[in-house]
Structure 1
């Protein structure tokens, strides 16, 4: 009796980059059995060749590789509009994880990882990145916290659209946000002028079931601040409250 393969969009294309042939075979085979189209690369050079030949929806990238390592690869990539990246590392140190997230990785898993956990993370990232089709029902995540149904949040001349996930600056220029940056900014603008601890921000932005790792919030806030303007001072939109957390300073309106 043939196994039933879950239906996955035929265009869902994943690239697995790892120098270990056993891991490449394990991960690619598991993902293919769940309906994904998977290519593999053993190093950064092969990865670049494949990226020139095909468009990928997601990349699983190993950190520790001979030659150019995964963090160096990530640093060289254009993260604006590129495919989301999930990092894998046999070392799994806090420093590696912080650097990976700061460089734009969507998620980070220690090796050896359970293929089912990796699959769950991949599905989560792809689901967050999926566009909302015209005429389709709005996902629950697009509803404001107060349930008002408004999808546009305005603050200090900026506009954040919760459906399109687009951030417009005061000059109406679209500012690109990663998935993590969008979720963190949304957590702030839906709770303005309140001191939020790192644990609260993790719960609001990533869910109560996420791994609590407060330094990831510091990294995300640093990246978000660079896009919103001054990190500190009178013009800062996100203020550090010493020994407590962070506060979103401006008044927020809907509509």
Structure 2
């Protein structure tokens, strides 16, 4: 078995706030990423002319060319994955960013760990693995898909049959959105039953079930599990 490593990726952080930009750089470097920064869109485009990046983290609310406009400009040049950061978390802005070609959208304020989880999820989608996922790791949790067994810090945690089936379906597509219809088909229950099982799982898995970091709702689409996959040889 070998775990897919995305931490060696080169990330460009673009934010006009010096404090936030430097904090993000330091945090991501501590997590093993290579990080470059730019204080504005113009500098970012100049940097992109000379360096290749695996992912761009862009602040939306920048003076001059904003994050939406920068996303549009980057998309005309290539398919480098983009994660947007913004203090404006309303649905209209999220839809606009995604329609312009962003891969994900994270409202401020956010937990640094969630930023890393989302970055890893985007990078995994950009680097699709050939082998099947055997298990996933998220925080102190580990879930074996074939055995449908959950452990916390190595200690087994009991799941109901419905919870195990739902977690297996989400883990098999770690980092990707799975529709409620697909989940209902894989678990043998209705879509309402899926929502109930998600609520129960969050009570077990999340430090704050009302603000889930791992088992997330994607409004209008379904659910996704932000976790690091471990692949079969």
- TM-score, normalised to structure 1, is 0.52
Cα deviation 1:125-158 (Å, max 9, x = unaligned):
112222436xxx33369xxxxx9xxxxxxxxxxx
In the alignment, is the contact (CA less than 8 A) between 1:8 and 1:35 conserved in 2?
no
| Structure 1 CA distance for aligned equivalents of residues 12 and 42 of structure 2 | 13
What's the counterpart of residue 217 of structure 2? Answer: 211
Q: Tell me if structure 1 keeps the 8 A contact 2:87–2:108.
A: yes
RMSD of aligned C-alpha atoms? 3.6
- Structure 1 residue ranges (4+ consecutive) displaced by more than 3 angstroms after TM superposition: 7-11, 137-141
Which entry has the higher C-alpha Rg, 1 or 2? Answer: 1
Is 1:22 aligned to residue 28 of structure 2?
Answer: no
Q: Tell me which residue corresponds to 1:99.
A: 96
Distance 1:34 1:44 in 2: 25
Deviation at 1:81, TM superposition (A): 5.4
1:71-220 map, 5 Å: 71-78=68-75, 82-132=79-129, 137-139=131-133, 209-214=215-220, 217=221
Structure 1 unaligned blocks of 5 or more:
1-6, 142-146, 148-178, 218-255
Find 1:47's aligned residue among 44, 69, 90. 44
- The one-character-per-residue Cα deviations of 1:62-109 (angstroms, maximum 9, x if unpaired) are 100000000111122226852211100012222111101111211111
TM-score, with length taken from structure 2: 0.57
- The change in CA–CA distance for 1:140 and 1:54 in structure 2 (over 3 A counts) is same
Is the Cα–Cα contact under 8 Å of residues 106 and 180 in structure 1 kept in the other structure? Answer: no
Q: Check conservation: 2:58, 2:84, Cα contact below 8 A.
A: yes
Q: Taking structure 1 as reference, are residues 9 and 212 closer, same or farther at Cα in structure 2, changes over 3 Å only?
A: closer
- Determine helix, strand or coil for the equivalent of 2:11: strand
Structure 1 residues 130 and 98, CA gap change in structure 2 (3 angstroms): same
Q: Does 1:57 align with 2:51?
A: no
Gapped regions of structure 2 (runs ≥ 5)? 136-145, 147-174, 199-213, 222-233
Corresponding residue SS for 1:86: strand
Comparing both structures, which one devotes a greater share of its residues to strand?
Answer: 2
Q: Which has the bigger relative contact order, CA under 8 A and spacing at least 6? A: 2
Work out the CA distance in 2 between the residues paired with 1:19 and 1:71: 14
SS at match of 2:89: coil
Q: Taking structure 1 as reference, are residues 47 and 180 closer, same or farther at Cα in structure 2, changes over 3 Å only?
A: farther
CA shift for structure 1 position 119: 0.9
Following the alignment from structure 2 to structure 1, what is the Cα–Cα distance between the partners of residues 78 and 54? 11
Distance 1:180 1:81 in 2: 22
